[in-house]
Amino acid sequence: MHKELESLRERQQFRSITDSEPQPDGWVIRSGQRMLNLASNQYLGMDCAWAAPGLETASAGMGAGASRLVTGNHPLCTRLEQEFARFKGTESCLLLSSGYMANIGVIPALVGRSDCIFSDRLNHASIMDGIVLSRAECRRYPHRDLDRLEAQLKKAPAGARKLIVTDSIFSMDGSIAPLRELVELKDRYGAMLMVDEAHSGGLYSEEGQGLIHSLRLTDRVEIQMGTFSKAYGAYGSYIAGDALLKEYLTNKARSLIFTTALPPAVISAVYRSWQSVKGHRVRRAELQRKAALFRQRLQEAGFDTGGSECHIVPLVLGSNEKALKVSEKLQQEGIAAVAIRPPTVPEGTARIRFSLMATHSDEDLQWAMERIIRIGREEG
Ligand code: PMP
């Protein structure tokens, strides 16, 4: 262990955990210092502390006591699933623990040893781990490269089940998957399509149904996955799709079957947050307006913001050393911004990942951008 940790230190890939207490105004107290929080996934500034008292919490405790398949399924869970499916426009919805648990459970349930998975090279780690657990043959295609994907689909062995899996918004790049084209390809080659809406749920379409819904592709994506841990500011995840999919996963997804159900109090918080997020049209629009401004300012100052098209804006710096130095300087100036290094991103593309929140004030963002540009320039 010592040796491995030493090697991580040498490669500037060592990580540690810092105490952080998010504040309601888009700031965070980190190790006692107040900082503007440009490193949170609570994009709409939803603070679920308010959600716990209220809806049926009298019977909604912290311990579900058993798996959903045994005695852990609180009626609130069934109600949320039914109503959320209606909201998504799908036949059914299945609630699971975290998004990580959903991906590592659902992918191996859908495909196995003699099947093929086609995965965007920048997909989230939880998707990669689900793929490894499935033991299916995995073909990773270059980021959003539809020609390469099509060539791989053509070569898949006859008889193998085919699953294309993609993030809708790529978490470290802020780029958006070509969902319309992916739907066409999966139809042409008889594949299933799974889309991870972790970073688009709550933020796109009229009431935050997500990117698939806003593109009117609901009936054409077999497996829609999303989390309640980001824009919804709570915890938990869902799979939306047809009734057969839900029945199948209930019998086959090991991360649903062999773990204790979400605490009823958490489900209650998710329910309340979702009700509120539906009405947050203004916050959704504000988030995109602020992100566009932020991205534009960095680009005008000559910085590389990768392929960002949304509220996640990377500042690509290259070396781990440079990313760590910039992040350290930003934190000293009162900006919480984290250096993202390999293996989270490809070698040589270390970066600062900025994520905007609708609740950041224009003044605070202005203040931050001046510092980011100055420090970025100092570090070349
Ligand atoms: N998918 C993607 C694309 C993610 O970015 C994340 C979280 N970083 C997850 C899944 C996992 O979700 P959760 O945090 O709910 O486990």
ipTM score assigned to the predicted complex: 0.99
298 and 363 both lie in a single domain: yes
Asked which of 12-21, 31-40, 42-51 is least confident by mean pLDDT, the reply is: 42-51
Determine whether 74 is an active site residue: no
158 and 258 both lie in a single domain: yes
Domain's final residue, options 249, 278, 307: 278
Model confidence at 20: pLDDT above 80: yes
CATH of the domain at 196: 3.40.640.10
* Euclidean distance between the first and the last CA atom of the chain, given in angstroms as a whole number: 35
147 and 177 both lie in a single domain: yes
Q: Which domain holds residue 223?
A: 49-278
CATH of the domain at 40: 3.90.1150.10
Determine whether 311 is an active site residue: no
**pLDDT of 256-298, one tens digit each?**
999 999 999 899 889 989 999 999 999 999 999 999 999 999 9
Q: Which residues line ligand 1 (CB under 6 A)?
A: 98-100, 103, 124, 126, 167, 171, 196, 198-199, 227, 229, 237
Model confidence at 154: pLDDT above 60: yes
Domain's final residue, options 256, 278, 300: 278
Domain's final residue, options 263, 278, 293: 278
In the chain, at which residue ranges do the beta strands (DSSP E only) sit?
20-22, 27-30, 33-37, 92-96, 116-120, 137-141, 162-167, 192-196, 223-227, 237-241, 312-318, 335-336, 338-340, 350-355
Cα(380) to centroid(ligand 1), Å: 32
Q: How many domains does the chain have?
A: 2
Within a domain: residue 218? yes
| pTM given for the model | 0.95
